[in-house]
Structure 1
Amino acid sequence: MRITTKGQVTIPKPIRDHLGIGPGSEVEFVATDDGVRLVAVNENISEEERLRRFTDLLDRMEGTLDLGGMTTDEYMEWLRGPREDLDFD
C-alpha cells in the first residue's frame, strides 16, 4: 500500500467490507507495539450484524484452545485454583 503525496491511503475493499465502512465513515489509526490498527469509529451497523460478526469470531476461535485432555471442570479448577470455600460433604 502506498501513501499519496496528500498522505492518503486506499483501504482495500475486503477490509472496508469487514469493518462495514464506506464513503463518509470515520476511522481511526491506533498505534500499537506491532505497528498500527485501523478502527471504525462510528459504525452504524444493526444488532443482527454485530451478532453475526461476534458469531463469526467465535467460529474462528473454535478449537484453538488445547486443554491437554482436561475436562471442563478440571480446567476450571486449574484456572481458578482449588475452592476450599465449597463444602461438598
Structure 2
Amino acid sequence: MRVTSKGQVTIPQNVRENMGILPSETEIEFMQDESGRWYIVKAKTAKKRDSRFRTAHQTGKLTMSTDDIMALTRGESWRSS
C-alpha cells in the first residue's frame, strides 16, 4: 500500500466492507498495542446523526398559501390569508 504526499492511504474495499466503514459516515482511530503494533479501529460514536437536509422539513413552517406565493412571484401585493 502506498502513502500519498498528504499522508493518505486507501483502505481496501474488502476491509471497509468487513469493518462496516462507510464513506463520510465512519470515523476511525489508530490504536497501538503494548508490543508497538498499530491497528485501525472504528471510533465509537455517541449517536448517528441524521443529515441536516433530512431533518430540515421538521423546522420549516408554512406561513404563506400557494396563492400568496404566486402573487409575490407575479409582482402583485401579498394578500395575507
**Structure 1 or 2: more helix by fraction:** 1
User: Under a length normalisation based on structure 2, what TM-score does the superposition of the two structures give?
Assistant: 0.47
Which is greater in Rg?
2
User: Under a length normalisation based on structure 1, what TM-score does the superposition of the two structures give?
Assistant: 0.43
